Structure 1
Amino acid sequence: MQIVVIPDRRSPVVTHMVWYRTGSSEDPIGKSGIAHFLEHLMFKGTAMHPAGHFGKILAGVGGQENAFTSHDVTAYHQRVPKQNLATCMAYEADRMRNLVLDDATVASERDVVLAERGMILDSKPASLLQEALEAAAFPAHPSGRPVIGWRHEIETLGREDALAYYRRYYAPQNAILVVAGDAEPQAVLEMAEAAYGAIPPSDAPPERRRVQDPPARMHRQITLADTQVHQPQLMRLHAVPSYISGAPGEAEALEMLAFLLAGDPTSVLHTRLVQERKCATSVGISYWDTAIDRSRFLITATPAPDVSPETLEHTLEDVLRDLLKTGFEADAIKRAKTQLVASALYALDSQVSLANWYGMALACGMTLEDIAAWPVRIEAVTAEHLHDALLKLDRRSAVSGYLLEAAAAA
């Protein structure tokens, strides 16, 4: 088990996080959603800590707990007064190997997950469209499947599926412990040795080797029209390198490109699409920079009244082509570097943000040295790097999504 301690003694509080090097991309074929389902089931208790027992302890000391699953990681965390750190470790070590499940509990929680999918995906046309874009952009790679799973596959998940996944991936050898806050490193190591070191060794962690997609050579378009839609939307998804899968400098350039294009009200797309051409009322970009394999660069925009998503995309394409010719102004690049590095410095002010940053990066394969060098690598991005990043936004390899009112599509 890798252990990382980030001291922050400004308040007598610690954040305790256990990160597992497994996420929905490790879901077996036909069992999508099992990683996320198991995350839910991990709160159902052990013989030593029955369901709800630890939550009552946390509530009694004013603590908090939660968990999440992504394509590449699953993480469990608590935020507690520092004197309760050992209690958190004892709990996580216990449920790491001693989870107790019965068929009735699993069936009940499966209904909860199905209801969650209905609430966050099935009832929201925009979410369904993004889900379809991701499936088209990653047709073979498991990250094309939703983290929560496909509904028809969630319905088949049972106790043995959960326990098989649990036994395969939940062990100290496949975990990273991050403790941030008012804690002495040596004391954390001793507590971790007492809690996690007592767990008998298991098999070596499974190798994280996934099926890869072939290069995309054609544009794909998906249109969703729904009676619930009252505001059309444009989405455009590109499969791009991440910090782990890309060559040195590629992810840094993509991160800066996302900021330059849509990072604030002075960004290029906001200026040209919203203010000057008035063909959009908003525009945004999400780049998932930390991923084991290729990742997502998602452009979203809301068309102005009487502008269709298709027309807006053509205008977007014009702007991107112009940028390939002109590049970005030197002052804009300098400002983007300042803003990105400053945002990382502000993260140092939050022990939770720090624990998340380190945990996510390490669980996906980065090193402590990679994390420390990030500001220097951002400063090293050049206009040429940004040009190369722009080339990765070629529409011919993208998946475009148009969200329409049902009447407009008739």
Structure 2
Amino acid sequence: MSFKRRGLYAAFAGVFLLAVFVRPLPAAQPLAETFTLNNGMQVVVIPDHRAPVVTHMVWYRVGSADEPQGKAGIAHFLEHLMFKGTTKYPPGAFNRIIRQNGGEDNAFTSKDYTAYFQRIAKERLGLVMDLEADRMQNLVLKDENVLPELKVVEEERRERIDNDPSSLLSEQIDAMLYLAHPYRKPVIGWMPEVNRLTRDDAIAFYKAHYTPANAILVVAGDVTPDEVRKLAEEHYGKLANTFDVTARMRTEEPEPIAPRRVTLTDARAASPVVQRAYLSVSYATAAKGEAEALDVLAELLGGGATSRLYRKLVVEKRLASYAGAWYSGDGLNSGIFGVYGSPVPGGAVEPVEAEIDAILEDIKANGITEDELARTKATLIADTVYARDNQGTLARAFGSALTTGMTVADVLAWPDRIQAVTLEDVKAAAAKTFDDRRSVTGVLLPAAGAPAGGGEPTDPTPSNSTQQ
């Protein structure tokens, strides 16, 4: 049940990066238009006429970082419960109607947002709007369907985190990286708090966050802005807001003053891994060009077989089976930059970590080359071209950006901003970010007697969201 952020420690499956933003090509640009309904609900339309289908998404500006104290996991739990029906569409009807009409649907929760989506034939767009608009205000929850679903969530936590050593380490790293900010909590919640969630908790959270002015509608596909506007006004425009939407208030993270370290030994671990997370800026909090420089830096350091980390650790020195880097810049309040490596069979973690440190220090001191910068920019911008072929990816790029402090214009301009990154920008971003005081280093070790090294490399990316 998840999207995952690029990089090492992953709890769930799926991918979303700011690097999937649309490239503004003169002839092929998928124009995006935005407008706001009278009740404050923002609408984004991304025409794509290659096939007679649409992707319809409703995004709420609420995630696990907005949960009340002691209710960790309630945002994700409510996501599950949103499928439990209304008076108009009783339990089971939502999914059944979507399937009967040849569509597919799902939902996901992150630290900053919750989203519900359907992909269906364009002539059924009004139908899915009716379904979503209905459950935005008319959800009916009863203990007979709430309590069994809580068991489902508990089992999901056991399966995806408690039984996965890399996910457990991810959870510990997040908890140490953030001392005060609610990003320290896992999206799925801590099990002791999840165990105590109730129907009343879910209803209270629903009433506090689900209303048109706190939502964004994104429609990508074989439609025009005028067609979407007419349907949106018909189905969503008639909904009255049930509360006044205010700014999200979250505990501010204090400036880090010391590096932190955690070691997890687990018999289930297939191989040792060392990973480091640095608290960084996000696109929403960065100065001009700073987040873009971190995207370039992550790709250059660990984006593939030609990256610095992979070439040095895997190809040249043969210290690691795999190595890489990632940058998660889509947080409303902060970002994370990560690096990682796993020693070759029989190898130790310490030489891998030492070589990673040496590579980071070299970039801080000497920066990167013009050739590296040009190649990395070309790779990132090319990725946006490929992303344009996926209707759902386009919708998710806009929805994620708009729920975390960015605009439609920011999405469309992203490739141009990547192109504007300079050598000095990358060196400055590295110097600021690769500060040990801003870091947490995590080491995963097999238990004594377990085989060290080897096995298929995993992609332990940080857990950003859970998805049904």
- Shorter-chain TM-score: what band? over 0.9
Alignment deviations for residues 137-177 of structure 1 (CA, whole Å, 9 cap, x no partner): 01110011000000000001001100011001101000000
- Could you say which structure has the greater relative contact order, defined with CA pairs below 8 angstroms and 6 or more residues apart? 2
2:112 alignment counterpart = 72
Structure 2 length normalisation: TM-score?
0.86
2:232 alignment counterpart = 192
The reply on whether 1:398 has 2:439 as its aligned counterpart is yes
The equivalences for 1:6-405 within 5 A come to 6-391=46-431, 392-405=433-446
Alignment deviations for residues 325-359 of structure 1 (CA, whole Å, 9 cap, x no partner): 33212111001111111111221222111101011
Indicate the larger mover: 218-227 or 392-401: 392-401
2:218 partner SS: strand
| Preserved CA contact (<8 Å) 1:169 1:206 | no
More helix by share: 1
| Preserved CA contact (<8 Å) 2:207 2:242 | no
Alignment deviations for residues 217-258 of structure 1 (CA, whole Å, 9 cap, x no partner): 211110000111231111111111010011111110010100
CA distance in 2 between partners of 1:408 and 1:325 (Å): 41
CA distance in 2 between partners of 1:3 and 1:175 (Å): 9
CA distance in 2 between partners of 1:351 and 1:136 (Å): 37
Alignment deviations for residues 298-351 of structure 1 (CA, whole Å, 9 cap, x no partner): 222111233322331112101111222332121110011111111112212221
| Preserved CA contact (<8 Å) 2:45 2:219 | yes
2:448 partner SS: helix
Letter of the 2:403 partner, please give it: A
Alignment deviations for residues 75-117 of structure 1 (CA, whole Å, 9 cap, x no partner): 0000000010000000000000100001121111111000000
Letter of the 2:435 partner, please give it: D
The CA RMSD over aligned residues, in Å, is 1.2
CA distance in 2 between partners of 1:269 and 1:393 (Å): 15
CA distance in 2 between partners of 1:180 and 1:221 (Å): 44
CA distance in 2 between partners of 1:77 and 1:313 (Å): 41
Q: Which runs of 5+ in 1 are unaligned?
A: none
| Preserved CA contact (<8 Å) 2:303 2:326 | no
| Preserved CA contact (<8 Å) 1:362 1:368 | yes
| Preserved CA contact (<8 Å) 2:65 2:111 | yes
1:407 partner SS: coil
Change (3 A) 1:186 1:93: same
| Preserved CA contact (<8 Å) 1:309 1:403 | no
CA distance in 2 between partners of 1:215 and 1:311 (Å): 30
Change (3 A) 1:34 1:49: same
1:197 partner SS: coil
1:284 partner SS: strand
| Preserved CA contact (<8 Å) 1:97 1:170 | yes
CA distance in 2 between partners of 1:351 and 1:23 (Å): 24
Q: Which runs of 5+ in 2 are unaligned?
A: 1-40, 451-468
Per-residue deviation at 1:29? 0.7
CA distance in 1 between partners of 2:319 and 2:438 (Å): 24
CA distance in 2 between partners of 1:38 and 1:184 (Å): 32
Per-residue deviation at 1:278? 1.2
CA distance in 2 between partners of 1:284 and 1:373 (Å): 27
Indicate the larger mover: 228-237 or 36-45: 228-237
2:59 partner SS: strand
Per-residue deviation at 1:408? 6.8
CA distance in 2 between partners of 1:130 and 1:201 (Å): 38
1:188 partner SS: helix
Per-residue deviation at 1:208? 1.2
Letter of the 1:77 partner, please give it: F
1:146 partner SS: coil
Alignment deviations for residues 357-394 of structure 1 (CA, whole Å, 9 cap, x no partner): 01110111101111121111101111111111212122
Letter of the 2:152 partner, please give it: V
Which stretches of structure 1, 4 residues or more, deviate above 6 A after TM superposition? none
Structure 1 length normalisation: TM-score?
0.97
CA distance in 1 between partners of 2:331 and 2:264 (Å): 28
| Preserved CA contact (<8 Å) 1:310 1:402 | no
